[in-house]
Amino acid sequence: MTVADAIIHINGWPGSGKLTIARELASLLGARLLDNHTIINPAEALFDRRDPLYRPLRKGLRAVIFDHVAQMKPGVLILTDAISDDAFDSALFEEYRALAAQRGALLVSVVLNCSPEKNAERLVAAGRAERHKLTDPAVLASLRAAHHLLRPAGVPLIELDVSELEPADAAAILMERCREALESSLEPAGPRQ
């Protein structure tokens, strides 16, 4: 990929394979990777999600990290998250859009689709609990029933069903689709400050 500064945001349900695929994609692109658990795990380690101190710490950590990311040298950055189309999560995505604008970077949104059955199977994979990741299939089913993954307007959107794909294969497909999306984008999200 020849794009000098880009942010690839990978969105998917917990257990859909975001981090595994993002690692493969980062390797293919020579990109930096910042997954959502790297940002939120300090808050998870200290507070239960229902604790009133949890959300402010999580928001503060995210703000500090994004402030530093905005100052990084140009390059491709991959971010992962599980963002629904509700008002709270839509506002959260606007932080990614603002980050891209601060960097003068092109922003691409990737949505990983995964069948409910395969998603539930992956959710209980070894190693997820140690990273404070969701492992309860009932909670996942509830999330999937109550919400839809965000498909933001105004940025290139790539959707990929990863139900039957190996991570390396998914990453190879995403590399090509991201390259096409980034090359067809005429202007970055905003001037670099």
Q: Is the pLDDT of residue 192 over 50?
A: no
Q: Indicate the pairing of strand 6-12 with strand 106-113.
A: parallel
Average pLDDT over residues 64-86: 96
pLDDT digits (tens, 9 = 90+) for 109-134: 999 999 999 999 888 876 776 776 87
Confidence of residue 2 (pLDDT cuts 50, 70, 90): very low
pLDDT at 189: 54
pLDDT at 3: 61
- What are 183's strand-pairing partners? none
For 37, 72, 121, 150, 188, the CA distances from 85, given in Å and listed in that order, are 20, 29, 24, 4, 24
Mean pLDDT of all residues in the chain?
A: 91
Structure tokens at 22: 């993002």
Q: Please name the residue ranges forming H helices in the chain.
A: 18-29, 36-46, 54-69, 87-103, 116-123, 137-146, 167-184
The domain covering 6-183 belongs, at the CATH homologous superfamily level, to P-loop containing nucleotide triphosphate hydrolases (3.40.50.300)
pLDDT digits (tens, 9 = 90+) for 149-181: 999 999 999 999 999 999 999 999 999 999 999
Domain boundaries, the chain: 6-183
Contact 169, 24 (CB under 8 A): no
pLDDT at 55: 92
Q: Is the pLDDT of residue 187 over 60?
A: no
- Which pTM was predicted? 0.89
